[in-house]
Amino acid sequence: MIKSFGNKTKVAVFISGRGTNFKSLFYFSKKKKSKVQICIVISNNKYAKGLDFAKKHNIKFQIYTFKNSLRDELKVLQILKKKKIKIICLAGFMKILSKEFIKRFKGKIINIHPSLLPKYKGLNTHIRAIKNKDKFSGATVHFVTPKLDSGKIILQKKVKISKIDTENTLAKKVLKIEHKLYSAAIEKILKKV
């Protein structure tokens, strides 16, 4: 059960790179009717561009390499508990969390994946869709379980794959829908609370 504090549900965003989904979640959190507040960003990459955005907007962030996964996960769990985090949003986070970590936050970790799951779990989703001559690709927001990209689907959206699409052009199309889809999925979860 996800409970909110005041009118806002406290959220942590985990990133590894550019953080474009993190940015769109941030702008979503600033909307008048938004019920979420991003309290912390966790990254496994000190060079992640998304951290510059966090600095610019005074969002606290922590960097853990996850080289010693157990130790770093324990530290992250302490921070999340201290900040009363209720939802973890994985946004291009390129580390696989342990079963133990996921169990602690069961039903409260969500991820966005650039394919129409259950198709194309894991990496290189766009090139796989093109090589298989799929007519559509898209994005999926799902709950995180210990099994990679296999949790219950919250929302999905399709994009048409054109004959001239490359891995890059398809990635751009999918990323565009990801930004709207992620915030819509969070709204859907919170409505059920």
Strand order in the sheet with 61-63: 61-63, 36-43, 9-15, 87-91, 109-113, 136-143, 153-160
Helix, strand, coil distribution of the chain in percent, nearest 5: 35, 25, 40
Catalytic: 113? Answer: yes
Write down the H helix ranges in 88-166.
99-104, 125-131
Given 113, 126, 142, 179, the catalytic residue: 113
Place of tokens 């194309």: 120
Structure tokens at 39: 């309290």
Phi, psi of 84 (to 5 degrees): 55, 45
Q: Which of 172, 174, 133 is nearest to 156 (CA)?
A: 174
Q: Which residues are catalytic?
A: 113
